[in-house]
């Protein structure tokens, strides 16, 4: 742990870049599905493009865990963010669908290294008793970017074309790199002592953690499938079924994201005061219900209400999966455990868009919405019944 004044500086140095990257990624929420659809491909291929970033994250999580355990945190973060910027610029210039897929995969690899390095760093500098609020605040600044991004992305695409948001994204990445260089203090290379002993201790810790990882990881898989499926369904349903333009879809996503963002602090307080599950279980019940209600929407207003319900539900679990992973990670194998945790979560992000794409191709967007809603209900039940409560409460003083 580090002193509170140094912690404030470090947290600021991570939170501001996170907000900028979330804003940029949010610009693509309403535009990437429409951009891919404009290439004249099937819904299944739209789903593949939307899942490509998560595929890249999934493929890179293992190597990222190796790098994070050996590189200085600042070096790992800069490398990841730099790869994101190069990949986004490549997407803007890509002349074909398959080059778009490739650049999205590379973008996911960069995000994997950035996400894992920041997660491990925050885990090291936080205590269990305030971790929910710390991770919730981190999720909150990311959601702030997600709130502003879709509206800006929709407007940029409307006025300057569907490739323009990618160019804006690349410019923001340059600013993000500069801020990390200026704000994040240099840190020593992780670890110390004999490398062989540390590797043996890490392997032993991972073996002991395997049952917990499998059980909680199942919940993580379903949770991320729900979240990713929800991100895909609202823009596609609005544009393809309801016939809304990209600007209207962007506004809907932004309003839902604003509601989502507004709950980051209450979510952290609930996790630290009442337990992690007290926030997580209601969150995924509400998100599943929102997706199940999607087929009942008939226009801008009703789609906005369904999306808002989903945003409220997601806001209740702000930072929850980061907190849960940090709580469960053994300190002898922190980066390695979190890499596996991210692999499971990213598998869910891959599965969500693919589920939407293939079910929509086979039966339409209505069954796809119901399928994602069922995943949400299953996630809530699994977490309630099978995942242990990980909050370590402070001992009560007697007398």
What does 150-174 look like in DSSP terms, one character per residue?
HHHHHHHHHHH-TTHHHHHHHHHHH
**Do 148 and 26 meet the contact criterion of CB atoms below 8 Å apart?**
yes
Q: How far apart are CA 276 and CA 269, in angstroms?
A: 10
Q: How far apart are CA 5 and CA 75, in angstroms?
A: 23
Which residues are within 8 A (CB) of 69 and not within 5 positions of it... i.e. 6 or more apart? 190, 191, 202, 334, 335, 336
Q: What is the DSSP letter of 238?
A: I
Q: What is the residue whose two structure tokens read 């390095």?
A: 117
pTM of this structure: 0.75
* Per-residue pLDDT tens digits of the chain, which is 399 residues long: 444 555 566 667 788 888 899 889 888 877 888 877 777 777 777 778 877 887 888 889 889 888 887 887 788 889 999 999 999 999 888 888 888 899 999 999 999 999 888 888 887 777 777 777 878 877 777 777 666 788 888 888 888 888 889 999 999 999 999 988 888 776 655 555 555 666 677 677 777 777 887 888 888 888 888 888 888 888 888 888 888 887 888 888 878 888 888 888 899 889 988 888 999 999 999 999 999 999 899 889 999 999 999 999 998 988 888 888 888 888 777 788 888 888 888 777 777 777 777 887 777 888 888 988 999 899 899 988 888 888 876 544 444
Report CA dihedral (225, 17, 320, 381) to the nearest 10 degrees.
-10
Q: What are the two backbone dihedrals, phi and then psi, of residue 192, each rounded to the nearest 5 degrees?
A: -170, 175
Angle at CA of residue 206, ends 202 and 209, nearest 5°? 140
> What's CA 27's distance to the chain center, in Å?
15
What b-and-e string marks burial along 69-89, b requiring 16 or more CB atoms within 10 Å of the CB?
bebbbbbbbbbbbbbbbebbb
- For position 188, what pLDDT does the model report? 53
- Other beta carbons less than 10 A from residue 41's beta carbon: 15
Residue 161 backbone zone (phi > 0: left; psi -120 to 50: alpha; other: beta): left
Q: What is the DSSP letter of 263?
A: T
**Do 154 and 5 meet the contact criterion of CB atoms below 8 Å apart?**
no
Q: How far apart are CA 133 and CA 188, in angstroms?
A: 27
**Do 272 and 356 meet the contact criterion of CB atoms below 8 Å apart?**
no
Q: How far apart are CA 290 and CA 305, in angstroms?
A: 9
- For position 329, what pLDDT does the model report? 81
Quick one: CA dihedral 224, 230, 235, 241, positive or negative?
A: positive
Q: Which among 349, 364, 101, 108 is positioned nearest to 229, based on CA atoms? A: 349
Q: What is the DSSP letter of 201?
A: H
Quick one: CA dihedral 342, 345, 349, 350, positive or negative?
A: positive
Residue 392 backbone zone (phi > 0: left; psi -120 to 50: alpha; other: beta): beta
Helices (H), 263-299: 264-273, 276-293
Q: How far apart are CA 290 and CA 364, in angstroms?
A: 18
């Amino acid at each position: 742990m580090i002193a509170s004044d140094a912690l404030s500086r470090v947290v600021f140095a991570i939170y501001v870049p996170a907000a900028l990257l979330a804003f940029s990624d949010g610009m693509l929420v309403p535009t990437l599905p429409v951009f891919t659809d404009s290439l004249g491909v099937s819904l299944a291929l739209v789903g593949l493009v939307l899942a490509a970033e998560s595929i890249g994250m999934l493929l890179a999580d293992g190597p990222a865990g190796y790098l994070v355990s050996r590189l200085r945190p600042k070096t790992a973060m800069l490398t990841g963010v730099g790869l994101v910027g190069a990949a986004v610029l490549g997407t803007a210039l890509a002349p074909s669908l398959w080059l778009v897929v490739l650049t999205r995969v590379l973008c996911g690899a960069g995000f994997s290294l950035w996400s894992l390095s920041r997660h491990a760093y925050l885990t090291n500098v936080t205590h269990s008793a305030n971790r929910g609020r710390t991770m919730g605040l981190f999720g909150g600044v990311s959601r702030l970017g997600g709130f502003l991004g879709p509206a800006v992305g929709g407007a940029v695409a409307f006025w300057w074309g569907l490739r323009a948001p990618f160019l804006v994204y690349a410019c923001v990445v340059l600013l993000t790199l500069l801020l990390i260089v200026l704000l994040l203090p240099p840190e020593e290379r992780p670890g110390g002592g004999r490398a062989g002993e540390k590797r043996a201790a890490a392997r032993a810790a991972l073996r002991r953690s395997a049952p917990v990882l499998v059980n909680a990881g199942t919940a993580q898989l379903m949770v991320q499938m729900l979240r990713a499926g929800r991100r895909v369904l609202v823009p596609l349903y609005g544009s393809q079924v309801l016939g809304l333009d990209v600007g209207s879809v962007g506004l809907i996503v932004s309003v839902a994201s604003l509601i989502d963002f507004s709950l980051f602090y209450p979510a952290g307080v609930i996790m630290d005061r009442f337990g992690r599950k007290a926030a997580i279980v209601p969150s995924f019940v509400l998100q599943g219900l929102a997706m199940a209600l999607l087929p009942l929407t008939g226009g801008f207003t009703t789609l906005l209400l369904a999306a808002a319900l989903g945003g409220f539900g997601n806001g209740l679990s702000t930072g929850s999966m980061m907190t849960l992973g940090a709580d469960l990670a053994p300190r002898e194998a922190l980066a390695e455990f979190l890499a596996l945790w991210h692999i499971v979560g990213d598998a869910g992000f891959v599965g969500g868009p693919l589920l939407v794409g293939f079910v929509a191709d086979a039966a339409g967007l209505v069954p796809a919405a119901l399928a994602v809603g069922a995943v949400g209900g299953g996630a809530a039940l699994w977490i309630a019944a099978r995942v242990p409560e990980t909050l370590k409460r402070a001992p009560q003083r007697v007398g």
